[in-house]
Chains A and B, each alone.
Chain A
Amino acid sequence: MTLTKRVIPCLDIKNGRVVKGLHFGSIKDAGDPIVLAEKYSNEGADELIFLDITASEEQRETIKTLVTKVAQVIDIPFTVGGGIKTLQHARDILLSGADKVAINTGAVKNPEIITELMELFGKQCIVVAIDAKRNYNIEKGKNIFTEGQKKFWFEVFVYGGKKGTSLDVIDWAKKVEELGAGEILLTSIDMDGTKDGYDIILTKEIVDSVHIPVIASGGCGKPDHMLEIFKKSNVDAALAASIFHYDTHGVVGVKQFLKDNSVSVRL
């Protein structure tokens, strides 16, 4: 036996409720975060990720209280992200009961925060979330890919997928590893919400570029998509939201399906 692939339900939180968006856009209600967290933990989820998509200053206290309540009902690792920009904020979240913090925009704007967090809490606490999107305007110095006739590179986006940074995702992934990130949560903006499957080109490329674990995210609509990403890349974990939220496939069902198809999972 060896290390298993991780199946990670993600809960997008807005105003204390779980919501599910499409292409980082319109959203609908999907349930109570504490109830869902406990359910997933009991069903055998390998980890949980909470992304606070409101994350305004005023709501910082709300998310801290929620983190503590969730930490009380689960006994698996859990990561909290969304709007974390300062060392103090990250520290608050960790001391409220989260095992890891995911930083995205905060890390792009101030990369030193990764190193500072590593020195304080150790790299195992630091997940750098990277949102990437195909950019078809070919620029010099970017890592260029070809799909059919089209050429593109992957650009890092911030502010919940709204703003481009002109950073090349491969360069950024290597940089965050060097700065002390313990893990990368990689979301494909192109695939997110489509239910057409993970972005295989993007995932494979990042996994092969770094030596830290990578979580694939964005596009999972059925268990076959998880199987596909585990078979076609050496990714460590796959994140999904909607397939778990609406009981179309439970955590157990998904993991059993993976196991039946020779993916090593904890079951």
Chain B
Amino acid sequence: MVKVAIFDYGAGNIFSLKNSLEKNSAEVDVITSFDNVNNYSGILFPGVGNFDPAVRSIRDYSKIDFKDYVKDKIPVLGICLGMEMFFEKSEEGNEKGLSVMEGEVTVLPNTMKVPHMGWNSIEIKRSSRILEGIKNGSWVYFVHSYRIKPKNEDIVVANSDYGIKIPSVIEKENFFGTQFHPEKSGAIGSIMINNFLRECKK
């Protein structure tokens, strides 16, 4: 059985993510620091909370730096806010992001209804590990007020259309991110969770 950890920033419901991982036969620990020995095959950053407190909870309460913790290329899945934290900065806060990817996070324009909430489809740009078995145009559940602006567009493997273009899936080495919530996206989301767990087993 593959063992993964969900990092809990202490600010929200991680129940559905844990439940979804367990349904896909993973053993799940909930961690609040990186201080214990890393015996996990994968790490997940959930998609609930606020940028500054979430980044601080990762950076300030562990003696070990996140980048060092995952230096053996352990797969990391960031969901929504969890993915936004991969970047250098966000308009949601003042803290520096985890900076494992270059680029920033900006607020959605107020010409749209914000949050972008509900089911939207993904336009797959290229094949990727996390989207294996997923058809172009599949529906997934979004609820967010920010979007990522990666410096390197190549890391984006799928976009979504909300009147404006929203990068919805990214993949770079051992880092995976979704702007939507796979744990809330029915059977399609479950395939992605399963794809991530398969990466963890490698």
Contacts and interface: CB of A to CB of B under 8 A. Distances in A.
Interface of A: 1-6, 41, 44, 46, 68, 71-72, 75-77, 94-99, 119-125, 182-183, 211-213, 236-237, 266
A71 B19 contact: yes
A46 B181 CA distance: 13
Interface string B133-149: 00001010111110000
A2 B184 contact: no
A99 B184 contact: yes
Interface stretch (B63-71, B107-115, B171-179): B107-115
- B interface, size bucket: 35 or more
B162 A182 contact: no
Nearest to B81: A122
Contacts of A182: 115, 117, 143
6 A-B pairs with the lowest CB-CB distances in the bound complex, closest first:
A97-B15, A1-B121, A266-B139, A124-B143, A266-B119, A4-B119
Given A2-B120, A99-B184, A75 B12 contact: no
Contacts of B116: 3
Contacts of A122: 11-12, 48-50, 81
A68 B48 CA distance: 18
B167 interface: no
B115 A124 contact: yes
Given A119-B50, A183-B117, A212-B114, A75 B186 contact: yes
Nearest to B23: A75
A138 B184 CA distance: 45
Given A3-B120, A182-B115, A236-B113, 4 more contacts: A5-B118, A97-B16, A124-B48, A266-B139
Interface in B54-78: none
27 contacts: A2-B162, A3-B142, A4-B119, A4-B120, A5-B118, A46-B118, A68-B15, A75-B20, A75-B183, A75-B185, A75-B189, A75-B190, A97-B13, A97-B19, A98-B13, A119-B50, A120-B11, A122-B12, A123-B145, A124-B117, A124-B145, A182-B115, A182-B117, A211-B110, A211-B113, A211-B114, A212-B114
Contacts of B187: 75
B161 A2 contact: yes
Given A75-B186, A124-B143, A99 B121 contact: no
Contacts of A41: 186
Contacts of B115: 123-124, 182-183, 212-213
Nearest to B187: A75
Given A75-B189, A77-B141, A121-B11, A6 B119 contact: yes
Nearest to A2: B161
